[in-house]
Chain A
Amino acid sequence: MSSVASTVLTLVLFATYLGIGALAHDSHFSLGWVLGSTLLVWAGPAQIILISTLGSGATAVQAAIAVTVSAIRLFPMVVSVLPLMKTPKTRRSHLVLVTHFIAVTLWVECYRLLPKVPRERRIAFTHGLGCGLVTVCMVATTLGYELAAKLPPLFAAAILLLTPLAFLLSTARNCRQISDVLALVLGLGLFPLVSMLHTGVDILISGVTAGSIAYGVHWWRERARA
């Protein structure tokens, strides 16, 4: 539990889930629904995408496509973090719950904390860390939901602003290559233009276009260098 409390990221995570709770309230979802999404989905970006696409009238299929594209990034995280926990005796079934907990925060914290933990205890340690983080975030989700319902509009607006602020800054912080920076900037700029077309899949069109242009620039620069 002390590892949960000590992470600076927990504070940012708490603010993020306050925002998710508030966003769910103002998009007319039930408290049980958004708590279920924190427990089952356990990935901030996917939850924001799910709530805002469904809330703005997209179909379940359109929302599912946007969620699954955003979730592909979990795949390399799982691939890179699991070798830290495996021992020769580890079975795949022992790692299912650990795998569910993996999202950007846990991924970063595993790299920081696991080297201090004896290898045979790392799975149990990660279970504890994951449960602690999920609990903290469920409390934050509930708090954000209730605050959005009861606070005067000024403060409710401030809590809703936590979501775009926290995600913009944490995404900017995670940018490692020119393609990441470009994807962020182009994605921000392209969405307002694409949304004028009212296609119903505006998020997907602007995301795939901006991401592919960003990748194209990365590819072209690598080639020019070679």
Chain B
Amino acid sequence: MSEFFGSPHALLVLVLAGFLPNEIWRMAGLWFGAGVDEGSEVLVWVRAVATAILAGVIAQILVQPPGALAGVPDGLRYGAVAAGFATFMLTRRSIFAGVVCGEVVLLTGKWWLG
């Protein structure tokens, strides 16, 4: 069981750095939500910052890739994502088509490069 869950310390970090900082906003919505205007300016800023943080993490995975993704040349990683995005735009924003295209470019590119 200890192998399955890893160290107790890691689980404590999961609760303190993952679960609580995330859940607090859901519960805040449940308790204090009645008086907040959904379209308020603060929430526009919050959404912009949250979007930019997620964009930063996407960039981090592409620029400093973890594990097996690091074995793919930089140009091919960026090219696959660019191809996926182009397909997404051309198919009237189909996430499915974009993801499939990006994956196909990555797989054929890596296979072709050997």
Contact = CB atoms under 8 A, between A and B. Distances in A.
Contact of A211 (B19, B24, B48): B48
A99 B26 contact: yes
A183 B49 contact: yes
Contacts of A194: 56
Contact of B17 (A25, A60, A80, A157): A60
Given A11-B96, A30-B6, A211-B45, A40 B50 contact: no
B18 A67 contact: yes
Interface size class of B (residues with CB under 8 A): 35 or more
B29 A25 contact: no
Nearest to B71: A153
Size bracket of the A interface: 35 or more
Grouping DSSP codes into helix (H, G, I), strand (E, B) and loop, the B interface class, with mixed when no group exceeds half, is helix
Contacts of B77: 161
A23 interface: yes
Interface in A69-89: 69-80, 82
Interface in A44-97: 45-50, 52, 54-56, 60-61, 63-80, 82, 92, 95-96
Interface of B: 3-6, 10-11, 13-31, 33-34, 36, 38, 41, 43-69, 71-72, 77, 80-81, 84-85, 88, 93, 95-96, 98-99, 102-103, 106-107, 110-111
Interface of A: 8, 11-12, 15, 22-23, 25-27, 29-33, 36-37, 40-41, 43, 45-50, 52, 54-56, 60-61, 63-80, 82, 92, 95-96, 99-100, 102, 148, 153-158, 160-173, 175, 177, 179-180, 182-192, 194-195, 202-204, 206-212, 214-215, 218-219
